[in-house]
Amino acid sequence: MGKNRLEAFSDGVLAIILTIMVLELKVPHGERLDALQPLLPAFLSYVLSFIYIGIYWNNHHHMLHAVRHVSGGALWANLHLLFWLSLLPFVTGWMGENHFAPLPSALYGVVLMMAGIAYWILAHCLIAEEGPDSLLARAIGKDRKGVLSVLIYALAIPLAFFAEWLAQALYVAVALIWLVPDPRIEKHLHTDD
């Protein structure tokens, strides 16, 4: 099957997720700058989640650019990824409204970890369709960055109950690791031209 419908559907779902997240931000009561202070945790949670959605959108685009076809399994794997990403507005709002409390912060990490695992599954479904010598397979290689990200999430989740600030720092660290589009795919795309 062609990949265009999968990419268009994913783009639409991610756009809706971003829209839901911004609509969850509450308008402050008051016109002074200090009226924004109680909303700061919700806003910071929104910024982090917005960055994560942007990272997934960007890397998803690069990954699909590296393949020619998708299978039925890849369609389901993509839905699996979108499921976990669709939970981001909920956990983002819960974490922000509760000022990074332990349980909401831990659940935020669970959703991020599951999205990371789902992305890995999608990548391997696409590689299975394209073959072990495909552009995507060569670009992803051993996927140390993806494995490291999931391990950091797994560490941050229990830390959220003991050191919330450290768990949040780890979530930010993973976002920083992925902020630049995956150069492995871009590098291989340019060498295959």
Classify residue 91 by burial, with Cβ atoms within 10 Å: 0-12, 13-18, 19+. Answer: buried
State residue 54's pLDDT score: 95
CA distance 18 to 29: 24
State residue 183's pLDDT score: 63
Averaged pLDDT score across all residues of the chain: 92
Task: State the amino acid at position 112 in one-letter form.
Answer: L
Over residues 96-121, the pLDDT tens digits come to 999 999 999 999 999 999 999 999 99
State residue 185's pLDDT score: 66
DSSP string, the chain: --SHHHHHHHHHHHHHHHHHHHHTSPPPSSSSGGGGGGGHHHHHHHHHHHHHHHHHHHHHHHHHHT-S---HHHHHHHHHHHHHHHTHHHHHHHHHHTTT-HHHHHHHHHHHHHHHHHHHHHHHHHHHHH-TTSHHHHHHTT-HHHHHHHHHHHHHHHHTTT-HHHHHHHHHHHHHHHSS--HHHHHHHHHT-
Nearest to 106, CA basis, from 151, 55, 47, 168 = 168
pLDDT reading at 160 higher than 70: yes
Calculate mean pLDDT across residues 125-145. 89
Give the CA angle between residues 182, 184, 188 to the nearest 5°: 130
Calculate mean pLDDT across residues 123-144. 90
CA distance 78 to 107: 22
State residue 187's pLDDT score: 65
pLDDT reading at 192 higher than 60: no
State residue 82's pLDDT score: 98
State residue 60's pLDDT score: 94
Sign of CA dihedral 12, 51, 126, 86: negative
- Structure-token pair, residue 83: 């499921």
pLDDT reading at 189 higher than 70: no
CA distance 123 to 132: 12
pLDDT reading at 188 higher than 80: no
State residue 100's pLDDT score: 95
State residue 106's pLDDT score: 98
Over residues 18-58, the pLDDT tens digits come to 999 999 988 888 888 888 888 999 999 999 999 999 999 99
